[in-house]
A and B are shown apart, each in its own frame.
Chain A
Amino acid sequence: MKATTLYTIILLAVLASTFAGCKKEEEEEDKKDPNELGWVYNPTPYTGAAIPRNFPQPTYVANNNPLTNEGVQLGRMLFYDPILSGDSTLACAGCHKQENAFVDSRTFSIGIDGLPGKRHSMPLFNLMYSSRFFWDGRAANLAELALMPVEDPLEMHESWPNNIAKLQAHPNYPKLFYEAFGVEPADLTKEHAAKALEQFMLILISGNSKFDKAVRGTAELTEAEERGFILFNDNLGADCFHCHGDGSANQVFQEINAVRQFRNNGLDDPATPQGFDDYGFGEFTGNVSDYGKFKVPSLRNLRFTAPYMHDGRFATLEEVVDHYSTGVKPNSPNIDAGGMEFAYQGGVQLTQQEKADLIAFLLTLSDEEFVTDPRFSNPFE
C-alpha cells in the first residue's frame, strides 16, 4: 500500500470519526433530559382574553388544544419570528400586520422570492366564529391555516422538516415547546408549531370598537352613524345583515353559520362559471356550483383593512358601497341565492346621503385598541 493511500484512509477515518462524533453530540442535544435542564411542563390556563359580553357563543373549538399562557406566548413568538421562512426574512406578521388588524395593506403580499400572492391576505381576528379559513376555505381549522403559508412558494417557501430542524437547534424554542406542550426536542413536529400558532390567533379578539362601547353604554353613536346602522339592518335599505350579521344578536358582524360563509357577491360576470379568473371556494371543493364564491369577511376594523375583497380590487369603502349599491353583476354565475336579493337591479340603490351614513356606521366597528394592544404585538421589539 502506498503511503499516500494509507494517509488518505487515515484522514478519511479521522474525518468520519469527527463527523460521527458531531452527529452523536447533536443526537444527545436532541435527547436532552428536560428535568436535568430545569425545564418544567406545567402549563397554566390562559386567562388574558375574554369573549366580549355582546358577542355570541363561539362556534370554533380548538381540537385538543386548550389555550395556555405558555402556548399563546410561544405562538406569538412564532408568529413574529421570520425563522419559519425559507431565508428567515419573512414572518407571518410580515403579511398580517397588527396596525392593519392583521392584514396586509398591500393588494397582494410579497413572498420571500419576491413573488406576489394570488389573493389579498385575510385579516386575523375573531376567528372563533369561522368554520373554514382562507378566502377559498381550504383550511378546516386554524392549525391547518398556520401550516400552509410556510410551504407556499409564493409566501414563506420553506419545508416543515427544515423548520423543525431550525427550531430544534434554536437556543430558546426547545424549552418553550417543552413548557407549552411537554414535547422533548427530538419529538417536536410541525403540529406543535401549528398548535402554538392556533392558540395565538385565537386570542386575537377585537370587541372594543365605538359600536361595542355604545352597546355597553360608554359611547354614543352620532345621528349619521345611527342612520347607517338602521340602513345596515334594513332589508329595503342597504341589506348588509343577510351576510354580515344583524348587529343585534350577531355583533361580530360576520357570517356564523358554517354553510353560508362562502358566497358570490356579484363582482364579475363571465359567461360561465369556468370563466372566473379565480374559482375561490370552488377551487377547494371542486364543485362548479362553488366557483366564484369567497369567504364572507367580518366588517369589523374596516378602517385598517383596505384594500377590500379577495383580490383587493376596491381601495376605499366608498368603492365597496358603490358596488353593493349599483355595481352588482346580476349575471354573475353562482351569484348568492341567499342574500343578493337586489342583484337584478345592480344592487340596493342607495342615495349619496345613505352611502355616507352607512360608511359612518361601518367605521364605528373599527377597534383602535385592538391594533395597538401590547398582548398582540411583536415580542421581539
Chain B
Amino acid sequence: MIYLRLLIPALILVVMVSSCEKDPELGTSTFTLAVHPVIGTEGLILNQEYIDQEGYRIKPVTLRFYIAHVMLTSATGEVEIKDLDLLDMENVAAGEPLTFTVEAPAGDYTGISFWVGLDSTQNASDPATFNNDHPLSLATGTFWTWNTGYRFVMFEGYFDTIQNTPGPVSSTRFFNYHTGTNPLYAKAELGNASTAFTIAEGADYTYNLDLDVNKMFYGPQNIARSQGAVTHTTSNYELADKFTQNFVRAFTLSAP
C-alpha cells in the first residue's frame, strides 16, 4: 500500500513534468507577401492610362504606402512576421508585384493582417537617423514634417472628371491622396477558415494579394470626382479619412 501512496504522486509528477515540456518547435519557411496593384482585372502600371469601373479615365503616377506589423493569423493566435516596410511601385519593374520576403514559422494559418501606415512610435521617428535604404529615411520622400510625421499612403495621378471621354486623359486634372497622422493608421485583415493555408517547413510560400484602384474610389466610401481630388490630410481630413477606409479594404486575396 505504501507503494501505491508513492506511485500516485510520482505519476502525477511525471504527468506534470511532461505537460511542461514545450511542443516541438516548428521550423521556418521563406514567406513572401506579394501585393499586385490592379484596376479591376488589369494589372496596374504607373504612367499608363486606364478606364475605371465607372468609365473615368485615370493615369496613376505614384503609389507607395507603409505596411506595418504584418501578422500571420492562425486558429491559436497571431504571429508578427514583419514590423515595417515601404511598398513603392517606383521600386519595382512595370507589372511586377510589391513584395517583401521574411522567414516565417511553418504552420497552418487562416489569414494575414497588417496595418497601413505607421504606429505612433514609428510615426514619431526622426528620419535623419536612418540610413538611406531604410523605409523611414528621408530618401523615401515620405516624411512630411515634425508635427505630422510621415505620409502613410501616397497615391497620385491624373484623371478625367467626365465619364466616357476619349483619350488621352487630362494632364491638368490631378488627384493626390496623401494620408497621414496617427488617427489614420488603419488595419487590413484578410483570409478566413475557407482560405486557410499551410506553410510547410523549409519550403517557399508566397501569399498573393490584389490592391484594386477601383476599390480605392468606390469602396465603403464613394469618392466621386466632383468631391475634390486632393488631400494632404490636414488640408482635407474628411477626404483623407474616406480614402483610408477604402484603401484598407482595397486588398483582396488574389484569385488562385
Contact = CB atoms under 8 A, between A and B. Distances in A.
A joins B in a complex: yes
Interface of A: 56-57, 59, 233, 235-236, 241-242, 246-250, 255-260, 269, 273, 287, 289, 330-338, 340-341
B172 A256 contact: no
Give the secondary structure class of A's interface: loop
Contacts, number: 84
Interface of B: 47, 59, 61-62, 90, 126-128, 131-132, 137-141, 143-146, 154, 156-158, 171-172, 174-176, 230, 232, 234-235
A59 to B, nearest CB: 5
Contacts of A236: 234-235
Contact of B172 (A235, A258, A332): A332
Nearest to B91: A259
A338 B171 contact: no
Contact of B139 (A256, A269, A333): A256
Contact of A338 (B90, B143, B145, B156): B156
Given A248-B145, A249-B146, A256-B138, A331 B172 contact: yes
A216 B171 CA distance: 44
Contacts of A333: 171-172
B140 A341 contact: no
A57 B141 contact: no
Of A233, A236, A269, A289, most B-chain CB atoms within 10 Å? A289
B172 A259 contact: no
A260 B141 contact: yes
B172 A335 contact: yes
Give the secondary structure class of B's interface: mixed
B132 A59 contact: yes
B141 A249 contact: no
Given A249-B128, A335-B172, A337-B62, A57 B234 contact: no
B43 to A, nearest CB: 19
Contacts of A273: 171
Given A260-B141, A289-B171, 10 more contacts: A246-B144, A246-B145, A250-B143, A257-B139, A289-B61, A335-B172, A337-B175, A338-B154, A341-B176, A341-B232
Given A56-B127, A249-B143, A338 B62 contact: yes
A229 to B, nearest CB: 11
16 contacts: A56-B138, A57-B138, A59-B132, A235-B232, A241-B145, A246-B143, A246-B144, A246-B146, A248-B146, A249-B146, A255-B141, A257-B138, A289-B61, A333-B172, A337-B156, A338-B62
Contacts of A242: 232
A119 to B, nearest CB: 22
Contacts of B174: 335-337, 340
Nearest to B230: A341
A59 B128 CA distance: 12
A76 to B, nearest CB: 28
In order of increasing CB-CB distance, the 10 nearest A-B pairs are A257-B141, A337-B174, A248-B146, A333-B171, A337-B156, A246-B145, A249-B127, A331-B172, A249-B128, A56-B128
A330 to B, nearest CB: 7
A249 B175 CA distance: 27
Contacts of A338: 62, 154, 156, 176
A273 B158 CA distance: 14
A260 to B, nearest CB: 5
Contact of A249 (B126, B131, B171, B172): B126
A322 B59 CA distance: 31
